[in-house]
Amino acid sequence: EAQVTQNPRYLITVTGKKLTVTCSQNMNHEYMSWYRQDPGLGLRQIYYSMNVEVTDKGDVPEGYKVSRKEKRNFPLILESPSPNQTSLYFCASSPQRGVIAKNIQYFGAGTRLSVL
Amino acid sequence: AQSVTQLDSHVSVSEGTPVLLRCNYSSSYSPSLFWYVQHPNKGLQLLLKYTSAATLVKGINGFEAEFKKSETSFHLTKPSAHMSDAAEYFCVVSDNVGNEKLTFGTGTRLTIIP
């Protein structure tokens, strides 16, 4: 089954304790992205990756890191989490640019993070 | 630059009556437009998309949307609401340039009254 898998689904942590949220897709998609969803703000892009070893900042990258060593995986790293990073996070993937189905992004089920 | 405005944060309709969720967009180029639905505690699912073909787009579960360039609108409609339609709906725009980033609206929560 084609899917984007995020882990964990729920996470409670404390300020300053490094954490990683994993994201994996099995559709051979080149494009992957991370979003955070906050009430009244919709989804905002954190980082994206056009392909392996290619990553770039989205609208709200501060306090986050990503890596893209393999095509299928795109982990989100919070080196020193703070309470303002409490949010619902979504990973998404999309086929290569220029394909008819371009820009259709497939979303994971989300990771709800609470930073105390 | 691109942006999208969902005109209603919350819409309530009775079961069996029509649904209208409003969306206006701004784009410097010929945009792609999407509606995504998010059911409680679930990820986002694509309802329908407009990518410069037919201006009336049909999606899943009986939803459709019409792209109106003169009005810069992409409203989502359904003739008859069902209880299972209760969810949050996001209108999304992409300029189709650069990183082809999606810009999301702030969402409209649809409540269905039995």
pLDDT in tens, B26-81: 987 778 899 999 998 788 899 999 887 788 999 999 999 999 999 999 999 999 99
Tokens of B27: 């784009």
Computed over its alpha carbons, how large is the radius of gyration of chain A?
Answer: 14
Question: How many Å apart are CA A65 and CA A68, to the nearest integer?
Answer: 11
**Backbone phi, then psi, for B83, in 5-degree steps?**
-55, -35
**Backbone phi, then psi, for A24, in 5-degree steps?**
-140, 140
Given an 8 Å threshold on Cβ–Cβ distance, is B99 in contact with A56?
A: yes
pLDDT at B105 over 60: yes
Average pLDDT of span B14-18: 97
- Give the model's pLDDT for residue B58: 94
pLDDT at A2 over 90: no
A56 touches chain B (CB under 8 A): yes
- Give the model's pLDDT for residue A72: 96
Given an 8 Å threshold on Cβ–Cβ distance, is B43 in contact with A108?
A: yes
Given an 8 Å threshold on Cβ–Cβ distance, is A109 in contact with B43?
A: yes
Among the partner residues B42, B96, B100, nearest to A109 by beta-carbon distance: B42
Given an 8 Å threshold on Cβ–Cβ distance, is A107 in contact with B44?
A: yes
- Give the model's pLDDT for residue A101: 47
Mean of per-residue pLDDT scores for chain B = 90
Residue of A nearest to B5 (CA): A42
pLDDT tens track for A38-78: 988 889 999 999 889 999 999 999 999 999 999 999 999 99
| pLDDT band, very low/low/confident/very high, at A100 (cuts 50, 70, 90) | very low
Chain A hits for B49, Cβ within 8 Å: 103-104
| pLDDT band, very low/low/confident/very high, at A98 (cuts 50, 70, 90) | low
Pairing of strands A111-115, A87-94: antiparallel
Question: How many Å apart are CA B89 and CA B36, to the nearest integer?
Answer: 6
